[in-house]
Structure 1
Amino acid sequence: MKHRLGRLMAGFILFMLILAIQGQCAGEVSGTVLKIGSPSVVKSASLLGDSSLGVFSHLSNPTLMKMAENGSIVGLTADRAEVSKDGMIWKFFIRDNFYWSDGEKLTPDDVMFTFNYLADKSPSAGWIKKTVENISVDGNAVVFKLNKPYSRLNLEFATYTILPRHIWEKIDKPLEYVNNGEVVGFGPYYISKIDTDAGVIYFKKNPYWKGSSPYFDSIEIHTFSNMDVLSMALEKGEVDAFYKYAGSYPYTSIQKLKDTGNFDFIEKDNIGLTFLAMNLKKEPMSDLEFRKALSYALNYSEILNLDALGYGQVPNAGFVPPSMMDFKETRKLQYNLSKARELLSEAGYKDSNGDGILDGKDGKAIKLTFLTRTDYQRPTELVIGYLKDLGINAEIKSVDSSTWIKQKDAYEYDMTITRSTPWGMLMHANWGTGYFDSTRTGEGVLHNVDDPAFLKLCDGILAATSQSELKEYAYQVQDYYAANLPGIALYWSRIVTPYNKVFTGWYSDPLYGIYNVDSFLEVRKA
C-alpha cells in the first residue's frame, strides 16, 4: 500500500513538473512581477494632467503610431497610415483585435473621439483645432481632413494615448480628473492602481488582450525622488531595471553597477542633446561673428568627458545628432582658442585698456548674465571658464526651473545651457526647429530665431508632401544651424539603461527608450 502511494505521489509530482515546464515554454510565467525603477515621480493620479503618468500610461493606452528603431513612423493601434498626394487627407486604419480591459471592443470611434476630445480639452493638443478641419470614420479607418498639409501628423500621433469613449465622454475636466485605479486600457497591461504616496504604479495583464502573451503577470513602476535611493534599490534587486524618459542612468554610477557583475546595459545614441543657448535679441549674441568665435572657444572633448564621462561624441555645427533620420554631416565643432580670439579681433572686439576684458562694439566691457539651473552646474562652470579665457566676464545666475522658464521667456538672460528631449527634437518642424522658431511657446522652447529664412524653412517642412522633400529640407535646416549657430551643441550623448541580467528581451526605441509595448511583450527571464 505504502509503495503504491509512493508511486502515485511520484507520478503526481512528475505530472505537475511537466505542466509547469509546458506553461513556461508557452511564455507564461505564473505569479511573476517585473519591477521598473524610475526617477520620474508621479505627483497626481491624473492620466492627462501628470506628464510622468502620461508616459507610463503608454503601456495601458498605447498610441496610434510608434517610432521604429530606424526613426520611421509605423503603426501601433493603427495598422498603417495613408496620406493623399496633396497632404490634405490622412487615413489611419485601426487594427481589429484590440479590446479594453473592461471587455469592450476598441473601435475607430474611440480613436475619433480621442482626438476630438483632446483638441477641446487639452491645451497641448490645441494645434489639432488649428490644423484639422474634420475627423470622421470610414469603415475601419479614421480620416483626418486638414485645412493645410501637415507632414508631421503621423509623428504627432506617436505621442497621444488612445482613450475609451465610454469612459472619458463623461469626464468634463480631464486635466483635473484623478483616478487611482482601475484605469481602463487596451494594451497588454492596464493600470490597476496608482499609489502616489508609495510612489508605485501597478499594472495587471489585460484579460482581453489578443496579441502575443506577455511573460509577466504584472508590472510595477517604482518611482524615486532620490536617485541614490533608486540606485541602491537597483543594486539590491528591489527593482529589476531602470527607466527615465529621455534620460540616462547617471554616468557616475554606471561603473558601480558594472562592478557587481549583475547587470547588462542598453546603450543608444540619444536624439536629444545638451546645448548652449543664446539670447539673440541682445548684443553681442546677436552678432553672428561673435557666435562663430564662441563656437571655437569651447573645449567640447573636456565637456563630454567631465559632464558625460565620455558617453557620447563631440558634435557638429549642424546641431542635429546622427541618431536622427536625414542627418547631414556638417563642420565638426573644434576647440581652437587662438582662432576664436582671431575671429573676435577681426569682428571688432578689442581689449582697449589692457585689463584682459574684451570690449563690445559699444566700447564697454562685455559682461554676460549666464542663467542656469542646478542640473547644469558643471557644464555652466566649464563654459564660464572658457569665456574667461577668451576675455569675457560672465556672472552665473542660478535659479529653479520655474524661474528659469519665466526669465527665459522674458529674454532676461544672455546665455543658458539646456537640453532637448527626443520629442523636443521631433516637435514642430522636426530637427530641433521647435526650440528656435520665434512663433513657438513652451516650457523648454527658446523662441529666439525670427529670421524669415528660418521660418520659411519650418513652413516648408510642415507643408511637405513627400519624403524626398523632407530630406532636402532636413539638410537645409542643418546647413542653417551650421552657418548661423542659433544654438551650439556641447555634446551628443548616449542613453545608458541598466537592467538585471537575469532578464532578456529588452527593446529600446528612439522616442521612449525601453518603455514601449514591444519591449514588455518580449522581456522575460533569461
Structure 2
Amino acid sequence: MYWRDILIALVLTIIILTAGCTGQTEDTDGLVLRIASPMEVKSQSVFGDDNLGVFYSISSPTLYRMNSDGRNVGFLARNCTVSDDKRVWTFYIEKDYYWTDGSKVTPEDIAFSIQTFGEQLPSARWIGDTLENVTFDDECITFTFTKPYNNLDFELGYPIISKKDWEGVADLYQYTSPGPYTGSGPFYLDSIDHLAGVLTFKRNPYWKGEIPAIDRIEVHTYRTIDAATLALERGDVDTYYNYADSYPYSGIESLNATGSFDFIETTDVGGIFLGMNLKKAPTNDLKFRKAIAYAIDYKEIVKIDALGYGEVPNYGFVPPTMEFYKDTPPLTYDPERAKKLLDAAGYIDSNNNNWREGKDGKELNLNILIQSDYTRVAELITDYFKQIGVKTTINTVDRNTWINLKFNYNYDLTVTKTTPWEMYIHANYGTGFFDSRRTTQDSLHYLDDPVFLDLCDKMLNSTDPATQREYAYQIQDYYAENLPGIALYWKKNVIPYNKALSGWEMDPLFGIFSVENFVSVHRVGA
C-alpha cells in the first residue's frame, strides 16, 4: 500500500509538471489559443458594445486591411480604382470568401453592409451623409460620393456582414445574440458568454485561405488589468490583449520570472501627448506653447510612466513607425530656457510670489483635464510647470465628462493618447485629432488655421506617393513649428506569449488580434 501511494503521487506530480510546461494550448479539439484581456464585454451586441466590436472584427473581414508592414492591402477586395475627382471608388471583389454557412460573400453583401452602417452607426454617419449611389455586379462594387475621399480603402474599415442574416435587424446597436454569428474570416464568433467573460471563436470550415494551426480561440475578459495579468502568471492563458495598449510595464518582470513567456516588443503607432486648447489664452499663444515644451522632462516621463518602455519624441509629433516619417528635431528638457522664453513673451511674476501672470495681469492657473489613466503623467506635468512658475490644477473626470468638457473647450491642457487608428484617419499623421472640422469623441478639433486645413485637404486629394510624402513632411513640419500638441513619449507595445507557441505577427492597428497573426501562430516545432 505504501509503495502504491508513492507511485500514484509520482504520477500525479509528473502530470501536473507536464501541464505546467505545456501551458494551456492542448485540447481534445486541437490547438486552443487562450487570450486574457481587460477589455470587459458587457453585452451580447457586436455593434453596441465597443470592446466586443473589436473582437468581432476577425470574424468578418473588411474590404482592405493593414498588414504587419503598415501598408493597406486587399482583403475581401483584391484591388480598387478611383476616379480623378476621388468621388467614385470601385472595389474588385475576391471570389474565394465564403460565409460559415457555405454561401459566397457577394458584392450585394458589401453594398448592404456599407449602406446599413451609414444609416445606423454614428461612427459611419459620414457614409450616410455623403454616399450618393451604389452599383454592383458579380465582379465589383462602385460607391459614388458627393465629396472626394483620398483613402477610402482605409476609411471603409468596417466588418462586412451577411445580408440574409442581418437585413431583418432594425437596429444594429440594440440587437443582441449569444451567437453563433455568421462570418467569412478564418474564424467566426461562435459564442458570447459575457457573464462568464468568455468569447469563443471557431474555425470557418469554408475558409479557402491559409489554414490556421489554431482550431479555437478563447478570449477571457476581466474587469481589471490586474485580474487579466494574474491569469497569465497562473498559466491559465497564452497571451494578453488590450487594444492600442501594452501589457502593463510594471508586470513584465514578474511574468518573465515564471519562465513560461517570451515577449514581442514594438514601437506603437500611437503615443501619449499633451493637448493644448487653442481656443483660449494662454495656450493659443505659440510663444507660450514653445516655452512650456522646454519645461517637460521627457526622459523622466519615459522612465517613470513607461518604466523605460518608450522613446523621447520629436517636435513633429508623428512616430517613426509611420510611413513618410520625417526626423524633426527631438524635444528637449531645458527649464531655464523655458523661463527666459516666458519672460520674453510677457508671462512674468510681477509680485514675486513664484507664480506667473497672463497677459491680462491675472495669475495663471492652467486646468489640466484628464481621465484617471493619465494621473501620473499629469502630476509630473504639474511639477515641471511649477518649476517655471506656471500654476496648474488637475481635473480628473470620467470618459463621458471628459468628452463633454473637451467638446466645449472647458480646459487648458489635456493628457491623452493617440491610438493607431486615430493616427491613420482623416489625412493621416494624427490630423484627425486637431482639424477643427472633425468633432469626434476623441478628437480635440481646435485647430482652424487655414494653412493646416489646406494641408489636410491636399493630402486627402492626393494619390501619388511622392506627393503624399511631400505633404506628410509638411504636416510634420507644421506640427514642429506650431505645436498644436506635444508628444510626451512614443510608447512601446510589449506583448507576452506562451513559449510553446511561435509565428506571432503584430498588426499596426490591432496588435496580435488580427487574421494575419491567428493564421500564422502555431506550436513550436510544428
Contact kept? 1:29, 1:216, Cα under 8 Å: no
CA 1:59–1:29 in 2, change beyond 3 Å: closer, same or farther? Answer: farther
Q: Do the aligned partners of 1:87 and 1:149 also contact (CA within 8 Å) in 2?
A: yes
Counterpart residue number, 1:401: 399
Amino acid across the alignment from 1:146 = F
1:484-523 map, 5 Å = 484-523=482-521
| Residue aligning to 1:57 | 56
Partner of 1:283: 281
1:406 maps to a residue whose letter is N
Find the aligned partners of 2:391 and 2:420 in 1 and give their Cα distance. 33
How far apart in 1 are the matches of 2:138 and 2:201?
32
Structure 1 contact 36–222 (Cα < 8 Å) conserved: yes
Distance in 1 of aligned mates of 2:120 and 2:350: 59
Partner residue in 1 for 2:123: 124
Give the conservation status (yes or no) of the 8 Å contact 2:65–2:73.
yes
Q: Does 1:155 align with 2:154?
A: yes
Secondary structure of residue in 1 paired with 2:247: coil
SS at match of 2:338: helix
Q: Is the 8 A contact 2:89 2:143 kept in 1?
A: yes
Distance 1:112 1:469 in 2: 32
CA distance in 2, matches of 1:476, 1:175: 40
Q: What is the CA deviation profile of residues 42-96 of structure 1, one whole-angstrom value per residue up to 9, with x for unaligned ones?
A: 1111111111111111221111111122322101111222223443322222111
Q: What is the distance in 2 between the residues matched to 1:192 and 1:108?
A: 25
1:144 aligns with 2:125: no
Which position in structure 1 is the counterpart of 2:95? 96
Aligned with residue 391 of structure 1, among 378, 389, 392: 389
| SS of equivalent residue, structure 2 residue 269 | coil
Q: 2:338 aligns to what?
A: 340
Query: Could you tell me the TM-score, scaled by structure 2's length?
Result: 0.92
1:89 counterpart letter in structure 2: V
Distance in 1 between residues matched to 2:212 and 2:370, nearest whole Å: 44
Q: Secondary structure at the match of 1:428?
A: coil
Cα distance in 2 for partners of 1:469, 1:53 equals 38
CA distance in 1, matches of 2:257, 2:417: 30
Asked whether 1:480 is paired with 2:478, we answer: yes
Aligned to 2:7: none
Secondary structure, aligned partner of 2:214 = coil
Kept in 2: contact 1:87–1:465 (CA 8 A): no
Secondary structure, aligned partner of 1:471: helix
2:359, 2:330 → 1: CA distance?
29
The counterpart of 1:168, out of the listed 156, 166, 169, is 166
Task: Give the drift of 1:417.
Answer: 0.4
- How many Å separate the matches in 2 of 1:287 and 1:278? 10
Matches within 5 A, 1:231-310: 231-310=229-308
**Equivalent pair of 2:268/2:321 in contact (CA under 8 Å):** yes
* Corresponding residue to 2:194 among 193, 196, 216: 196
Alignment-derived partner of residue 79 in structure 2: 80
- Amino acid across the alignment from 2:60: N
Cα deviations across residues 366-411 of structure 1 (Å, max 9, x unaligned)? 1111112210011000000011001011111121111111111111
SS of the aligned residue for 2:410 comes to coil
User: Within 2, Cα distance between the matches of 1:406 and 1:88?
Assistant: 33
CA deviation profile, 1:471-500 (whole Å, cap 9, x unmatched): 221111111111110110000111111111
For residues 179-217 of structure 1, the C-alpha deviation after alignment (integer angstroms, 9 at most, x for no partner) is 111111111111111001011111111122222222122
More deviation, 83-92/431-440: 83-92
Distance 1:322 1:78 in 2: 29
Residue 134 of structure 1: aligned partner: 133
Partner of 1:377: 375
Q: Distance in 1 between matches of 2:399 and 2:112?
A: 35
* C-alpha separation in 2, matches of 1:246 and 1:138: 37
C-alpha distance in 1 between matches for 2:254 and 2:491: 20
Counterpart CA distance in 2 for 1:240 and 1:518 is 18
Sequence identity, in percent?
Answer: 49
Listed as ranges, the gaps of 5+ residues in structure 1 are 1-27
CA distance in 2 between counterparts of 1:281 and 1:85 reads: 37
Distance 2:137 2:104 in 1: 17
Which residue matches 2:455? 457
Runs of 4+ deviating beyond 4 Å: none
Query: Do structure 1's residue 416 and structure 2's residue 414 form an aligned pair?
Result: yes
- Specify the alignment match of 1:428 in structure 2: 426
- Alpha-carbon distance in 2 for matches of 1:478, 1:328: 7
| Aligned equivalent of 2:14 | none
CA–CA separation in structure 1 for the residues paired with 2:91 and 2:381: 47
Contact 1:113-1:165 at 8 Å conserved across structures: yes
C-alpha contact (below 8 Å) 2:68/2:505 kept by paired residues: no
1:29–1:215 CA contact under 8 A, matched in 2: no
Whole-angstrom CA distance in 1 between matches of 2:209 and 2:280: 56
**1:98-113 equivalence runs, <5 A:** 98-113=97-112
Q: Higher mean Cα deviation, 342-351 or 208-217?
A: 208-217
TM-superposed deviation, 1:418 = 0.5
Amino acid at match of 1:191: L
Distance 1:516 1:367 in 2: 45
Q: Aligned with 1:204: secondary structure? A: strand
Query: What is the TM-score normalised by the length of structure 1?
Result: 0.92
In the TM superposition, 1:18-33 aligns within 5 A as: 30-33=29-32
- Are the equivalent residues in 2 in contact too, given 1:29–1:217 (CA < 8 A)? no
- Offset at 1:99? 1.1
Choose from 208, 217, 231 the match for 1:219: 217
Matching residue's letter, 2:105 = L
Whole-Å separation in 1 of the counterparts to 2:138 and 2:29: 39
Distance 1:156 1:223 in 2: 28
| Structure 2 counterpart SS, 1:384 | helix
Alpha-carbon spacing, 1:319–1:272, altered in 2? closer, same or farther (3 Å)? same
Please name the residue that 1:19 is paired with. none
Q: Is the 8 A contact 1:274 1:490 kept in 2?
A: yes
- Measured in 2, the distance between the counterparts of 1:311 and 1:29 equals 39
Partner of 1:355: 353
Secondary structure of the structure 2 residue equivalent to 1:37: strand
Distance in structure 2 (CA, Å) of the matches to 1:147 and 1:401: 34
- The alpha-carbon deviation at position 29 of structure 1 amounts to 8.8
Equivalence for 1:23 = none
RMSD: 1.4
1:67 aligns with 2:66: yes
Q: Residue 189 of structure 2 aligns to which amino acid in structure 1?
A: I
Q: Tell me the number of residue pairs that the alignment of Structure 1 and Structure 2 aligns.
A: 498
**8 Å contact from structure 1 (residues 242, 499) kept in 2:** yes
**Partner residue, 1:21:** none
